[in-house]
Amino acid sequence: MARSLIIEADGGSRGNPGTAGSGAVVIDQTTGMVIREIARFIGIASNNVAEYIALIAGLEAALDIDSNADIEVRMDSKLVIEQMSGRWKIKHPDMIQLGMQVQDLVRGKKVSWQWIPREQNFRADALANKAMDELSDSESSGLVTSTAANNRLSSSVTEFNESGPSSVRSPIDVTKPLTTIVLVRHGRTVLTEARKISGGDGDDPDLSEVGVLDANAVATALGQIGSKGPWQRIAPISAIVSSPMKRARQTAEVIAKHHGLKVTENENLREISFGDWDGLSHEEAQQKDSTLWQSWRGSWSVSPPNGESLEVFDQRLQLARQQITSRHAGKTVVVVAHVMPIRGFLRWAFDAAAAAYWRPQVAPCSISIIRVWGDETAEVVTVNHTAHL
């Protein structure tokens, strides 16, 4: 009886064309064990070239394991799957050559082709990102269970559930798809460094020099999502949404360039309005409006002069959350915003009261991660992660 193997393959390009890498995983279909993992650094290439190179690497590995195996190829590239199935014609010269190489490998073999959603192809995607991050090839082999292969983690995350809430105490039977929201505060500005109040309708400063360094550091750290470390079991990032304010947008653009993605804006992610207090230090605002300042601290409904109360701000922030969750359902999306919007996401995730708007620390270019299932429930993965800074 022929052995049955599964190949999961994926390729990526940060720039398209740009820095490219490919990843492939060979799995024993009967046992679910990962037999081989291959990461290939390609250099400068397009996404499609990287995907074909990933497929070739996976096929070569599978046929090396068992030249007579029945093989099922799974990829999230509809182009490659349709072309290799013979339903779409290959037109691009580069693709023609690579396609011929694939056909040479599979000639006389029993091979089936299956398209899968990107989130189901996270193993191969992680290997492709690993190749791009490290600018090098790597390969591992041996009978490793798929669970173990995806869980080379610390014991602190062994209860991670890839589709539903991780805690067995959760009373919710979710019906909505899992959306992972990676919350990133913008990098530092001159107002951040001067400890000045910087709200949503005051001055709109650029990132400072150290703020740009912050942004590059967090962009690199986000490369671990879906790839390695404690976040490798989270699906890779597929979208970036930003506040329209310069400091957030500039941080988001650095992240986008690193990951080969585009940035979209959401006006409701703008920082809370501090009105007449914008640009002042805390001490100056307190001296300016002493009585109001004391009433404002810890209040849900009191606002600064010409500014927003938490109650008003929270309404638009939760609208932003719903918009993002709806548009990117089932995906991993980076949200680049400010202190108060990030606290607003966390407040909702914890189902907390107003105090959640002043208790969590949210440092510049820190990472906080929540997993949400529509409006049904949420899970907090990490808050104010700053090890990369």
- Residues annotated as catalytic are 186, 271
Distances, alpha carbon 67 to alpha carbons 27, 106, 299, in Å: 15, 10, 70
Closest CA to 220 of 337, 149, 129: 129
Q: What is the 3-state secondary structure (H, E, C) of the chain?
A: CCCEEEEEEEEEEECCCEEEEEEEEEEECCCCEEEEEEEEEEEEECHHHHHHHHHHHHHHHHHHHCCCCEEEEEECCHHHHHHHCCCCCCCCHHHHHHHHHHHHHHCCCCEEEEECCHHHHHHHHHHHHHHHHHCCCEEEEEEEEHHHHCCCCCHHHCCCCCCCCCCCCCCCCCCCCEEEEEEEECCCCHHHHCCECCCCCCCCCCCCHHHHHHHHHHHHHHCCCCCCHHHCCCCCEEEEEECCCHHHHHHHHHHHHHHCCCEEECHHHCCCCCHHHCCCEHHHHHHHCHHHHHHHCCCCCCCCCCCCCHHHHHHHHHHHHHHHHHHCCCCEEEEEECHHHHHHHHHHHHCCCHHHHCCCCCCCCCEEEEEEECCCEEEEEEEEECCCC
